[in-house]
Structure 1
């Protein structure tokens, strides 16, 4: 850490107790928690307890609280490596303190420094808000430093320039870097896997199909939208959290960014990694949604815009597209867009091809009634 931050930490830890907030003349706010986590009562002078964390949070959290510029702790936060790049030999699920994780999640520091594991680790920045559900907030960067003068020559200094949060333009403050990840301290919501797949021929919006891979396959399901007593479209579900690294979350390090063609507000367009054709593309939500039926209205609107743009583009090339969603034990929604020759493939040809292939594979396709939507089925 830069010299003034080092000096500030030493001064704070010795003279101001094991926890607190230091505000510099520039407005820079540094929260600190000294020592290691302790389960003993009374808490030793070199340790902190759940009570210390609770009191520190209570002293800072207020209705207008946005976060602090820097958080200094000795232990790493537990699970800091979730959704992120590797921490080397450090197992972030076993090392570190859950109390520190809780503190970091509440204080939302722009920078969080820790050094107890004696290893250097700079985590990808993570969000402090849920995309499309909460007001955008600044990101947090966690940086672990090795001990000074270590023989392995691991990095123990970190120089950086920082403008206090209180002096920054709000729009500049909440800018999200391209490599931002989900918050590692938020518990993933477990959702039952969905087993529906939809097929949509571009020229026939009513020509949609789905099949069910449950035990009762082959038994016709009502497709008139009347069963269940409510034919109104369901509200889009909130995006789930990925259960592990996701190849399609735009913020994920696993994303093949060289394949990305266009990035919108809620969706992006990418080439298929193993495309059926050279111009096989995918429409994907930026946030983590599992299926079309989970999308919020804003995302659906942008998906529709991408479909219209692709329709116009392929038509200029003498083609039309077939769009389908494969949603069987999938983690992230992928809308596959496959172009076919305009002169040789009519919508009826496309429909017949799907039905013929489904019969060969002993899959029963059920057509969604005209003027209906898959969310009603």
Structure 2
């Protein structure tokens, strides 16, 4: 059989998404389902971080749907053409990245993909005392906008404005449409740690024994994150969490760092770039380790501790026992690989190393007894091995 251009099938828009869903959400299994959900949550979280909304509510409904609501301005009125465009085309919602761009999932193609891969999706935008409603079935509009009276009971009902997107993942596409409450709760908890001021709740209406709900909001950001990690492990008997924030034009972004020294030799150092976990590491974690090593080595020499001269040869041992979170938010994050789990921005390493060296060195000077205890223990442990 001869194969030529006539055999090439060109798919566009929703047909392309439904034909090859794995290209847009990663898989048709459980992982792809979560990417679909997080792609909708991404829009609402972005509204909060852009100061256009104050909170996000996510609900797993009893009939297998997911409802994502925010109390934002609803696009400035009851009708939102930008929101409608995001639901019906690829070209919207992919503007230039910035440090406020939160990467909630490695595969996140926005509302258009969620609409195409849902058996049903409804969007409600309310403001100025009215409500705009539109409904889609597998990405195709089934109802014209309808303006009705005030909406009660929604996230935005108290403020008079907001947006709610409800959708039902398509059973023709996904192997499972059951979302795990613990899995989503852990990701939302993480987002709240990494974005101070973000209030995000998760409600599950499915259990037969009653509705369950959790709310995440952490005023101290990554300091709270480090304290929570430490509390979970029970590795450290004290609560001296050191942390700082800094903006650096050289890396076109901001950094937020917190750390805690424990008494075990197991380090727990977690890195994030624009709120996405960088499991493979990257330049931000390289810079962090370098800065910690420099600060500890300098303070040990200042104290004239026996064995301080040996630290250079055992620099990697200095971070043992550390619990730390290193979060950067960059205008132009450069991820190495399609999964975005390895950060490659070269300027980030230098900037973070310098900041950690300066801030941690100052903390040692301001807390001489605590600093001497930490550094002396590090030197002693290395010398004894």
TM-score computed with the length of structure 2 as normaliser: 0.28
* Structure with the higher helix share, 1 or 2: 2
**Structure index of larger Rg:** 1
* Structure with the higher strand share, 1 or 2: 2
TM-score computed with the length of structure 1 as normaliser: 0.28
